[in-house]
């Protein structure tokens, strides 16, 4: 993300997992793990939406950990149809998560984040989750906590907004819709970052 980004690897179920870590100026409030989009469609931890999420969390004072799924970049292993990729996320969470941690994901990464969170013991689940353009049509998204931040583009041509509404509706889960915005948030990354910061900033009591 910048010259100060630290690259390191952690042990994963299919071999080493490549991670990129960005830290805030002061003492971190905790750690957020960010999951990238579909590995078979060019998704990596350097995806612009993933980096935008990392910047938002760093601005909020959180240490951000992005990582490449198995077989991508410096991560060992091979594509495992979404099953092993959830295990990869759990390995990164185990290696980096602090008592206070958050979980985020974009597209396929949102599916992985939802499933990884569901597999964690209740006491070890993330403080908050941020899911952007979640892959609600082609993957089986898990149910998520009521305070999860879900953001979707109105004109998403990869994951229809209607599919995300169908997933969110039974959970009574709000969805933040960005008018006229597509799946990759072209030209709207600044808006995406601002919304994440706004949603995760504690509000003054009325």
Give the total number of structural domains in the chain.
Answer: 1
List the Cα angle 17/200/45 in 5-degree steps.
20
Whether pLDDT at 154 is above 70: yes
Question: Which residues, other chains included, contact 191 with Cβ-Cβ below 8 Å and sequence gap of 6+?
Answer: 178, 181, 185
Percent over 70 (pLDDT), the chain:
98
Question: Do 112 and 53 form a contact (C-beta atoms < 8 A)?
Answer: no
205 within domain boundaries:
no
Asked whether residue 1 is assigned to any structural domain, the reply reads: no
pLDDT digits (tens, 9 = 90+) for 95-147: 998 889 999 999 999 999 999 999 999 999 999 999 999 999 999 999 999 99
CB 20 within 8 A of CB 56: no
Tell me if 206 is assigned to some domain.
no
pTM beyond 0.85:
yes
Q: Which domain holds residue 84?
A: 6-200
Q: From CA 113, how far away is CA 120, in angstroms rounded? A: 11
> Is pLDDT of 1 > 90?
no
CATH number at residue 62: 3.40.50.1820
Mean pLDDT over residues 50-66, rounded?
A: 98
Pairing of strands 15-22, 149-153: unpaired
């Amino acid at each position: 993300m910048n010259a100060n980004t630290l690259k390191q690897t952690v042990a994963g179920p299919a071999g080493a997992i490549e991670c990129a870590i960005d830290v805030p100026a002061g003492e971190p409030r905790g750690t957020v793990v960010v999951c990238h989009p579909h590995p078979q469609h060019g998704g990596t931890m350097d995806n612009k939406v993933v980096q935008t999420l990392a910047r938002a969390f760093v601005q909020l004072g959180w240490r951000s950990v992005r990582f490449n799924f198995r077989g991508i970049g410096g991560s060992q292993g091979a594509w495992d149809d979404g099953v092993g990729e959830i295990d990869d996320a759990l390995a990164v969470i185990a290696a980096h998560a602090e008592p206070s941690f958050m979980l985020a994901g974009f597209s396929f990464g949102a599916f992985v984040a939802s499933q990884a969170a569901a597999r964690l013991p209740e006491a070890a689940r993330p403080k908050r989750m941020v899911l952007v353009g979640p892959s609600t049509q082609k993957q089986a998204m898990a149910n998520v906590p009521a305070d999860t931040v879900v953001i979707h583009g109105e004109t998403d041509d990869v994951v229809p907004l209607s599919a995300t509404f169908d997933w969110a509706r039974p959970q009574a889960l709000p969805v933040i819709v960005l008018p006229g915005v597509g799946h990759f948030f072209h030209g709207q990354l600044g808006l995406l970052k601002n919304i994440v910061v706004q949603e995760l900033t504690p509000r003054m009591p009325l």
